Amino acid sequence: MYRKVDMWHSMLWLLLLWPVATKTESICESLEIRQLSDFEKLRNCSIVVGHVRIANLQLPGNVSLADLRCEVTEITDYLMIYRSTGLFTLESIFPKLRIIRGQNLLLDRYALTVYENRNLRELGLVELLRIQKGFIRIESNPMLCFVETVDWIYLLGNSTTQHFAIKHNKSPNHCPVCGGRSADYSYRVKKTINCWNMHTSQRRLIPPKTEGCPKSCGSNGCDSKGNCCSRNCITGCSTQNCTLCANFLRNGRCVDQCYASYELNKRKCVSAKECRQLNLIPLTQGYRCVDHCPNNHKPVLGGNGTLQCQMECKGVFHVKRAADLDQLQDCVTINGSLIIELVDIKEKVISALEQALDKVKEITGYLKVQHSAPLMSLSFLKNLDTIRGDELIENKYVLSVMNNYHLEHIWKANRQVALQRGTIFFHLNPRLCYDKILKLQSSIKSGLKISIADVSPNSNGERVVCGNSIRSLDPQVEDVNSTAVRIVLDYMMWDDIETLIGYSYHYMEAPHTNVTMYDGRHGCGHDNWLMDVSPTKNRRHVISNLKPYTQYAYFVKTLTRTDYHMQIDAYSTIQYFRTLPSKSSPVSHVFGTSDYSTQITVNWWPPRRPNGNITRYIVNYELHNLTEPEANGKNYANVKPFNINDVDCECYDLEPYYSGPQPEDENYYNKEQSIYEDALPDLIYVSRRNLEKKKEKFGKVKDFEDLIAGRPIESMVNSKKTSTTTSATTTTSTTTTSTTTTTTTTPKTPVTQSSLAADAIQSTTMEDPEIQYEKYRQYVEEKMRMAQDTDLEEFVILHDMPKCDNANASIANQLEQKCVVEEELSGISLSGSQLYYNLTKLQPNQYYRVSVRACVDGVINGCSNPATILVKTMSIEADLTNFSECQ
Ligand SMILES: *[C@@H]1O[C@H](CO)[C@@H](O)[C@H](O)[C@H]1NC(C)=O
Ligand SMILES: *[C@@H]1O[C@H](CO)[C@@H](O)[C@H](O)[C@H]1NC(C)=O
Ligand SMILES: *[C@@H]1O[C@H](CO)[C@@H](O)[C@H](O)[C@H]1NC(C)=O
Ligand SMILES: *[C@@H]1O[C@H](CO)[C@@H](O)[C@H](O)[C@H]1NC(C)=O
Ligand SMILES: *[C@@H]1O[C@H](CO)[C@@H](O)[C@H](O)[C@H]1NC(C)=O
Ligand SMILES: *[C@@H]1O[C@H](CO)[C@@H](O)[C@H](O)[C@H]1NC(C)=O
Ligand SMILES: *[C@@H]1O[C@H](CO)[C@@H](O)[C@H](O)[C@H]1NC(C)=O
Ligand SMILES: *[C@@H]1O[C@H](CO)[C@@H](O)[C@H](O)[C@H]1NC(C)=O
Ligand SMILES: *[C@@H]1O[C@H](CO)[C@@H](O)[C@H](O)[C@H]1NC(C)=O
């Protein structure tokens, strides 16, 4: 059997030497192959628009290869081979497969999966050139060889976002090597060590020329005839006469996009006429050539009998979940009314809502938003200008907003939506302030006045402090390093501090400074913001575990006790900071090839986490004497970077912290419960209880009376004096005023300040009671300030040590002077934009160890650890063959 395959290989190769000009392509849909007869469906397909799944296939022993062979050159989604027996190589099925596009992926992730196939000995996808999207997973095929011999990275087109996992196949040590033992084919494996099986090397295309090209080619290079190259062609360089396009094929050329034509199967551009000729419908919306009208279109017969799709956003659209949005996709005018009722609080629907309703400018009927806990604002109707009210709710209301637990805003600031007829109805929106609703009066074109019956000042905004009483926080970045930032807030004063439990700091990566607090936010707490809770009154906080050289957006919010049965939080506006640069991670992949006996060309990709501006690459190389075990191995051209710990790990990225209550939480809807009790993690429960115990009471009136009576101030000042003069640790012994119960922290406050305050009070004992009280208040405030400035040492941001003046400082000197010596790096220094280097004047047939480091600007010793490979130079004989081939 296996031999037969070998024979067949050679025949295939002969066939390929005379490419057959089969122009007609035959398109098939997704296919499931479970038995031999299913191959019939696949046989004549040249393009599968969809996926191919071969699963639980049991091939009989005497199967003829001709029964398996199919014409498929392209699969637009994915290929899965699962638990199939009797299958030795995929070459017998897919000898022509050139591309897997990965437009839709298996489990949203995989484009090629080969899993648990007992007899599979090789993949043999000999013509495969590219897997455009998705991961590769080849696992648990006990007989499978020639997996590690494939340059998967090349197949992925050097994409850094795709990955491959190869596990539990036959150990490469027990597998044959590329081109091994078969002298006949040796000429074919000369230039590469990558292969699909013993006889077929991996196809690689000639890279574009970079020199002697027309100027217009820019950095893309050109082919030998001087035609400019383009990434749009996969099989070649020029987009003319290209046989496989990366994106779209149009009139024999590869293009990025279909201009003034229709997309067919996401791979071809056709004219309306061509689309019709295929018995399909050209759809103006999105310019697609489709086989049936999409959801929000209805089929109509054109005057000359052709079927057409007409967009129809007509009717009353009731959106309860994301799936309901299909019918509204791309609507500009909703000819009718829109009801939003997001009762399924488990679904994350906000971004789908934003995307689907993005284009809506006008609703001819009414808009009703009710029972939608996930909504925080109505700004998902980003472009809405008018609600006409041709149809009204109860003949009266054009906009009805009711029982939306988290709704805080209506439209984006400065956005006016004209309400042409009727009036509005707002009830039971506990976080939406009454005054925000009243501002809609100017949009009500009917002139009807908003009445209390329609908009209740009681049922709206009862859980927030509305109007002027909302306070703001003013945070500042005090210090920053590459992974952490210290934020400091203004002092909280007298009235506010009583109910303050702490602060929450919300932050997210923000490449642009256009983040808003409501972006991607979801009332039920799923959002893109990460959150740190600081359950103390301290006005400083350090956010750590940040990414170096990354811009973040942040805002701060108070956490308050809700004894008042309402939320009295202060917010900051959104601010930005950028972390400092740091040492780069190693370059992500290094490749080396030798085309001549004296030369090695090294290519690499930029580091995955540059952590700053990469201004230099440093290349080093040396002759490498192979040790015995190494010499027995075979494939050295693509060894992984030696220091495995330096390889970046995906899990570095933090998962967003899901702040707020989860829908499955008990009592989620129990409105009697205070927001924070259901909103905050256990942390706050604990701290809240603790705080309860040492509850601070600024019993103002009582104190004031005591002050007038004159006695307590005396004793307070006295006790203050004794404590400051004796020992700072005894201050807590003050007894007469309850104000000093906060002094669990006072031992750390500077003595000078408290004694100043005490002096101030003492000198006023004989003054007017009002002035006395004022002084007393200042004193307490001073203390409160100090209480917010404690534990400074906990908020230190560590900084890199500066460079030593003496470049030869010893370790001891460095420690003593708190400085570091800048490492001298030898090697070839290249600019940060160059990603290749030619090593020349090498010895033939020798291994070289080549290493590449990436260096970040402005960081001492900011060069990455080296990523190293071993590459062997060609033999002199190979040079000769090269030469003769050129004749
Ligand atoms: C496939 O093509 C061959 C040759 O053109 C033809 O004989 C055969 O009937 C076709 N099979 C299918 C299933 O269309
Ligand atoms: C991937 O990168 C290597 C090295 O830079 C280059 O030779 C090769 O052509 C690239 N492959 C693709 C498909 O871009
Ligand atoms: C494309 O093919 C045509 C016809 O075979 C040929 O005349 C033309 O030169 C080719 N163009 C390129 C850029 O190779
Ligand atoms: C058929 O009608 C459509 C629109 O009504 C028009 O675009 C098209 O050119 C017509 N086709 C023919 C063959 O008349
Ligand atoms: C912010 O600006 C960038 C670039 O202009 C844009 O891609 C992005 O969508 C904007 N984000 C928001 C939330 O507006
Ligand atoms: C990185 O480069 C950008 C653009 O050239 C420059 O604005 C920025 O200041 C540089 N950053 C550092 C840390 O050198
Ligand atoms: C490699 O081995 C040769 C011969 O054993 C020796 O002369 C040479 O110095 C070695 N080179 C290195 C870099 O170790
Ligand atoms: C930045 O400062 C934080 C807080 O002191 C510290 O934990 C962290 O290690 C520092 N980062 C670096 C790269 O020094
Ligand atoms: C590097 O070497 C390759 C292979 O010999 C050659 O094609 C290329 O032009 C060289 N590049 C430079 C910049 O010298």
301 Cβ contact list (under 8 Å, min separation 6): 307, 308
For the cut 70, the answer to whether the pLDDT of residue 359 exceeds it is yes
Nearest to 561, CA basis, from 498, 505, 469:
498
Q: In the sheet that 867-872 helps form, which strands lie side by side, from edge to edge?
A: 828-831, 614-623, 847-856, 867-872
In whole angstroms, give the CA distance from residue 132 to residue 246. Answer: 8
Q: Give residue 837 CA to ligand 9 midpoint distance, Å.
A: 8
For the cut 80, the answer to whether the pLDDT of residue 277 exceeds it is yes
What pLDDT shows up at residue 732?
Answer: 36
Query: For ligand 1, atom 1, which residue shows the shortest CA distance?
Result: 44
Percentage of the chain beyond pLDDT 70 is 74
For the cut 70, the answer to whether the pLDDT of residue 694 exceeds it is no
For the cut 60, the answer to whether the pLDDT of residue 699 exceeds it is no
pLDDT, tens digit, for every residue of 139-190? Answer: 888 888 888 888 888 888 766 677 788 888 888 777 777 755 433 333 333 4
880 Cβ contact list (under 8 Å, min separation 6): none
What pLDDT shows up at residue 244?
Answer: 87
Say which range, 279-288, 457-466, 698-707, has the weakest mean pLDDT: 698-707
What pLDDT shows up at residue 437?
Answer: 92
What pLDDT shows up at residue 145?
Answer: 86
Query: For ligand 5, atom 14, which residue shows the shortest CA distance?
Result: 514
For the cut 60, the answer to whether the pLDDT of residue 748 exceeds it is no
Say which range, 236-250, 335-349, 395-409, 699-713, has the weakest mean pLDDT: 699-713
The one-letter code for the residue type at 692 is: E
Nearest to 716, CA basis, from 785, 749, 770, 764:
764
What pLDDT shows up at residue 307?
Answer: 80
Say which range, 7-16, 65-74, 821-830, has the weakest mean pLDDT: 7-16
What pLDDT shows up at residue 373?
Answer: 85
Whole-angstrom distance between the N-terminal and C-terminal Cα of the chain?
39
Q: Give residue 289 CA to ligand 4 midpoint distance, Å.
A: 16
The one-letter code for the residue type at 156 is: L
The one-letter code for the residue type at 375 is: L
DSSP string, 48-68: EEEEEEEES-B--TT--GGGT
Contact 579, 549 (CB under 8 A): yes
The number of beta carbons lying within 10 Å of the beta carbon of residue 429 is 29
In whole angstroms, give the CA distance from residue 755 to residue 737. Answer: 17
What pLDDT shows up at residue 306?
Answer: 80
In whole angstroms, give the CA distance from residue 59 to residue 72. Answer: 20
Atom of ligand 7 nearest to the CA of 624: 13
Q: Give residue 60 CA to ligand 6 midpoint distance, Å.
A: 64
Q: Give residue 308 CA to ligand 9 midpoint distance, Å.
A: 55
Q: What confidence category does residue 755 fall into, taking pLDDT thresholds of 50, 70 and 90?
A: very low
What pLDDT shows up at residue 827?
Answer: 92
What pLDDT shows up at residue 152?
Answer: 86
Q: Give residue 597 CA to ligand 9 midpoint distance, Å.
A: 13
Q: Give residue 798 CA to ligand 8 midpoint distance, Å.
A: 5
Q: What confidence category does residue 880 fall into, taking pLDDT thresholds of 50, 70 and 90?
A: low
**Rounded average pLDDT over 497-518:** 81
In whole angstroms, give the CA distance from residue 446 to residue 684. Answer: 49
Give the 3-state secondary structure of residue 215: helix
Measure CA 854 to chain center.
24
What pLDDT shows up at residue 753?
Answer: 44
Q: Give residue 624 CA to ligand 7 midpoint distance, Å.
A: 8
Ligand 9 surroundings by CB, under 6 angstroms: 595-596, 599, 601, 838
Mean pLDDT of the chain: 75
DSSP 802: P
Give the 3-state secondary structure of residue 400: strand
Torsion of CA 729, 734, 740, 745, to 10 degrees: 10
The one-letter code for the residue type at 742 is: T
Say which range, 348-352, 383-387, 654-658, 782-786, has the weakest mean pLDDT: 654-658
Say which range, 55-69, 500-514, 530-544, 681-695, has the weakest mean pLDDT: 681-695
Please identify which residue in the block is written with the tokens 């470049």.
Answer: 807
The values of phi and psi at residue 498, to 5°, are -60, -45
What pLDDT shows up at residue 518?
Answer: 60
Nearest to 637, CA basis, from 603, 587, 592, 604:
592
The number of beta carbons lying within 10 Å of the beta carbon of residue 212 is 9
Q: What confidence category does residue 629 fall into, taking pLDDT thresholds of 50, 70 and 90?
A: low
Q: Give residue 581 CA to ligand 6 midpoint distance, Å.
A: 10
What pLDDT shows up at residue 223?
Answer: 81
For the cut 50, the answer to whether the pLDDT of residue 119 exceeds it is yes
Query: For ligand 3, atom 8, which residue shows the shortest CA distance?
Result: 241
pLDDT, tens digit, for every residue of 771-797? Answer: 887 888 788 878 888 888 888 888 999
Query: For ligand 2, atom 11, which residue shows the shortest CA distance?
Result: 157
The one-letter code for the residue type at 581 is: P
The number of beta carbons lying within 10 Å of the beta carbon of residue 639 is 17
Q: Give residue 37 CA to ligand 1 midpoint distance, Å.
A: 14
More confident call, 332 vs 486: 486
Residues 862-883 as b or e (16 or more Cβ within 10 Å = b)? bbbbbbbbbbbbbeeebbeeee
Packing angle between helix 700-709 and helix 769-787, nearest 10 degrees? 130
Asked if residue 306 has its Cβ within 6 Å of ligand 4, the reply is yes
Asked if residue 240 has its Cβ within 6 Å of ligand 3, the reply is yes
In whole angstroms, give the CA distance from residue 597 to residue 569. Answer: 72
What pLDDT shows up at residue 520?
Answer: 53
Nearest to 376, CA basis, from 399, 350, 400, 357:
350
Query: For ligand 2, atom 13, which residue shows the shortest CA distance?
Result: 157
Question: 3-state SS of 96-134?
Answer: CCCEECCCCCECCCEEEEEECCCCCCECCCCCCCEECCC
Percentage of the chain beyond pLDDT 90 is 23
Residues 235-254 as b or e (16 or more Cβ within 10 Å = b)? bbbbbeebebbbbbbbeebb
pLDDT, tens digit, for every residue of 589-612? Answer: 787 878 788 888 888 888 888 899
What pLDDT shows up at residue 470?
Answer: 53
**Rounded average pLDDT over 428-456:** 89
For the cut 50, the answer to whether the pLDDT of residue 823 exceeds it is yes
Mutate to test the pocket of ligand 7, among 625, 630, 849 (most ligand atoms within 8 A of CB): 625
Q: What confidence category does residue 452 fall into, taking pLDDT thresholds of 50, 70 and 90?
A: confident
Q: Where are the alpha helices (DSSP H) in 764-875?
A: 769-787, 811-817
By CB neighbour count within 10 A (0-12 exposed, 13-18 middle, 19+ buried), where does 230 fall?
buried
Say which range, 62-71, 326-335, 557-566, 655-664, has the weakest mean pLDDT: 655-664
For the cut 80, the answer to whether the pLDDT of residue 416 exceeds it is yes
For the cut 80, the answer to whether the pLDDT of residue 828 exceeds it is yes
Ligand nearest to the CA of 66: 1
For the cut 70, the answer to whether the pLDDT of residue 92 exceeds it is yes
Ligand nearest to the CA of 284: 4
What pLDDT shows up at residue 777?
Answer: 78
In whole angstroms, give the CA distance from residue 608 to residue 653. Answer: 12
pTM, 2 dp: 0.49
Say which range, 106-120, 203-217, 521-535, has the weakest mean pLDDT: 521-535
In whole angstroms, give the CA distance from residue 100 to residue 75. Answer: 5
Asked if residue 44 has its Cβ within 6 Å of ligand 1, the reply is yes
More confident call, 460 vs 720: 460
Atom of ligand 9 nearest to the CA of 599: 5
With residues binned 3-state (H G I as helix, E B as strand, rest as coil), the percentages for the chain, rounded to 5, are 25, 25, 50
Asked if residue 35 has its Cβ within 6 Å of ligand 1, the reply is no
More confident call, 666 vs 402: 402
Query: For ligand 4, atom 11, which residue shows the shortest CA distance?
Result: 304
